[in-house]
Structure 1
Amino acid sequence: MRRPSVVTVGNFDGVHLAHQRLLRSVVETARQTDAAAAAVTFEPHPARVLAPERAPKLLTPLERKVRLIEEQGIELLVILPFTREFSCLSPLEFVSQVIMEKLRAAVVEVGPNFRFGHGQAGDVALLAELGREQGFRTEVLPAVEVRGERVSSSRIRELLSEGRVGAAGRLLGRPFAVYGSVVRGIGVGSKQTVPTLNLAPYEEQLPKRGVYVTQTKVGRETYESVTNVGHKPTFGEHRLTVESFLLNFSGEVSATAMEVEFLHRLRDEMKFPSPAALKTQIQKDARRSVRFFRLLKLFRQRQTQSFAPARGE
């Protein structure tokens, strides 16, 4: 690096509100000091190397995480390959080799629970001490809370596993979403119930099995939708799938990729006595979803009006 940097380090899974605040702080400090705004993250997630049996499913796969971090204004994103050899770096070696040699850090900004080095031996106190020795300033930002709840990736995963997608979205600062290719389903939807778009098998974090009000993005278009996360028990047990029924849409979709944003949970996935009974329930789900979107639009209109300046101001 030719110029000093302001640096933060983390997994940043989900790039949630606490991550966003930290990243924006790095950008602002860098702007004030004429330094580069830099972030360091790891691939794969360290737990997948050190304890794969306990490794969490990701909220944001790498490609999406990179985009979300860059949207916060970060100039330089360093993605370090995480290996067992790398995990053996002591706190001092990590600071010397990564923070100073690679990035010439003038300021390092982290959250209150930041740990680093072999066995997570380093904490914010040690980071500050090493900073004084090696010439960088350490700034520790406070935890972020939303409605009295501390924002963290692990808490967001818990909420999703309970189906509480609205609460998870509040901590993320946006709806929780999954992404992937569009694949052919088992063929029963268009023939016996309703036509759906099927997401390719997804190995990362999903909400609890059930039916949700969603928005499905296909190409440049976004459609109001109802999405099922489950095993299609009415038609026998199948692999876990994510399939969206697009509301107020007819025709063919030619796009090869889709993104599903989860807004509200409607119900558990159920086994119905017949495809006809399932189709009737899907139609009820669709009507509830249409009402949800109608109320959402009304709420947003009132919000906009409440913030609009009065005439003459």
Structure 2
Amino acid sequence: MHVIHGHKHVAPIYRGAALAIGNFDGVHRGHRSLIAETSRIARAKSISSAVMVFEPHPREFFQPGEAHFRLTPLKRKLALFSKLGLQLAFVEPFDAELASLTGEDFIERVLVAGLGVGHVVIGYDFYFGHKRGGNPELMVRAGEELGFGVTVMPPIADAGEAYSSSGVRLALAQGDVKGAAHMLGEPWRVMGRVVGGAQRGTSMGFPTANVPMPKGTTLGHGIYAVRTHFNGQAHDGAAYLGTRPTFDDGKPVLEVFLFDFAGDLYGCDIEVEFIDFIRADRKFHSTEELVEQMEKDIAQARDVLSAV
């Protein structure tokens, strides 16, 4: 998949694509249906399949002081787009210039003049342009007037409830990583760099890789069965997210214990894939009681992961 940053000075070879547009946070099943339709249209019209995303997320641009829970950072998002078979990804900088464009200006300057789109695919709830003045109806009219096709996708639902990024965030906040995986189409991941910790895990016989959680992340505190990816390898393990109430009840930290692994991961970039929830966080009366429970947690996590 080829990645193009911005809509200006786009080479002729990358123009005229079937283009899915959105934020695609999570790249959940609803997003995947939209992407699949984009690829189908591209094949039918013998044009490239493409996606446009905005960076940073518009909410981060308009509310810079607030922590926003991004399900998928750009690197992960692009990896998923490539995995889903898209040929092009346009990463559009969301800045003051773009935010000032009306819906009509966005279509004429970005989509038509910039990308020369052949077909646009958007969701039923896609709003764009200054003060969200653009909507699917405007896109359809513009397509008729300016000569590109438009497909507006209906909500994709499960048991009557539409898949949504907010639904995934709610599930994760409750520790329901299996429910989130169902909505996403695969387990949710956190990406981060391993940092030094207090070495408590090592002193108890469970050395951990400590990973700072991305800003705004809301995940239920507790123990999880996880699969960790780094250096092209995957390792099963158990992860703890919480405030360590048995010790200092401090800032939440993600601590990952890898099964049957010996090595130094400090400074390494890893991805932690959350497979299942084991138990909620709680305070123990002694270190010995905590260690006893940790052994049970690890055994349960092994059983869960062996069945996956």
Taking structure 1 as the reference length, the TM-score comes to: 0.88
Task: List structure 1 runs of 4+ shifted beyond 3 angstroms.
Answer: 52-55
Superposed, 1:75-224 pairs within 5 Å as 75-224=87-236
Contact 2:227 2:274 in 1 (8 A): yes
Letter of the 1:14 counterpart? G
2:98 is paired with a residue whose SS is: helix
Letter of the 1:228 counterpart? Y
Aligned to 1:301: none
CA distance in 1: counterparts of 2:163 and 2:67, whole angstroms: 19
Task: Work out whether 1:252 is the aligned partner of 2:260.
Answer: no
| C-alpha RMSD of matched pairs (Å) | 1.8
CA distance in 1: counterparts of 2:230 and 2:50, whole angstroms: 32
Q: Deviations over 1:262-283 (max 9, x none)?
A: 1111221112122211111101
- Between 26-35 and 57-66, report the one with greater CA deviation: 26-35
- Between 212-221 and 83-92, report the one with greater CA deviation: 212-221
Letter of the 1:251 counterpart? A
Task: Work out whether 1:46 is the aligned partner of 2:58.
Answer: yes
Letter of the 2:91 counterpart? I
Q: Deviations over 1:1-41 (max 9, x none)?
A: 35522112111111111112211221221122121222111
CA distance in 2: counterparts of 1:32 and 1:182, whole angstroms: 46
Contact 2:18 2:49 in 1 (8 A): yes
Taking structure 2 as the reference length, the TM-score comes to: 0.90
Q: Deviations over 1:74-123 (max 9, x none)?
A: 22211111113311111110000111011111211111111111111111
Contact 1:59 1:204 in 2 (8 A): no
1:207 is paired with a residue whose SS is: coil
Q: Deviations over 1:22-65 (max 9, x none)?
A: 11221221122121222111111101111335563100111111
Q: Deviations over 1:165-211 (max 9, x none)?
A: 11011011000110111222111111125211211353253421111
Distance change >3 Å, CA 69–CA 182, structure 1 → 2: same
Q: How many residues align?
A: 295
CA distance in 2: counterparts of 1:70 and 1:37, whole angstroms: 11
Letter of the 1:5 counterpart? A
Unaligned residue ranges in structure 1 (runs of 5+): 298-313
Contact 2:224 2:278 in 1 (8 A): yes
1:285 is paired with a residue whose SS is: helix
2:254 to 242, 259, 263: 242
Contact 1:193 1:275 in 2 (8 A): no
1:264 is paired with a residue whose SS is: strand
1:73 to 85, 91, 94: 85
Task: Work out whether 1:16 is the aligned partner of 2:28.
Answer: yes
1:56 to 59, 68, 78: 68
Aligned to 1:302: none
Letter of the 2:134 counterpart? G
- Highest RCO, 1 vs 2 (Cα 8 Å, sep ≥ 6): 2
- Percent identical among aligned pairs is 32
Contact 1:111 1:142 in 2 (8 A): yes
Task: Work out whether 1:281 is the aligned partner of 2:293.
Answer: yes
Distance change >3 Å, CA 75–CA 250, structure 1 → 2: closer
Distance change >3 Å, CA 207–CA 119, structure 1 → 2: same
Aligned to 1:307: none
CA distance in 2: counterparts of 1:252 and 1:179, whole angstroms: 19
Unaligned residue ranges in structure 2 (runs of 5+): 1-11
CA distance in 1: counterparts of 2:246 and 2:205, whole angstroms: 11
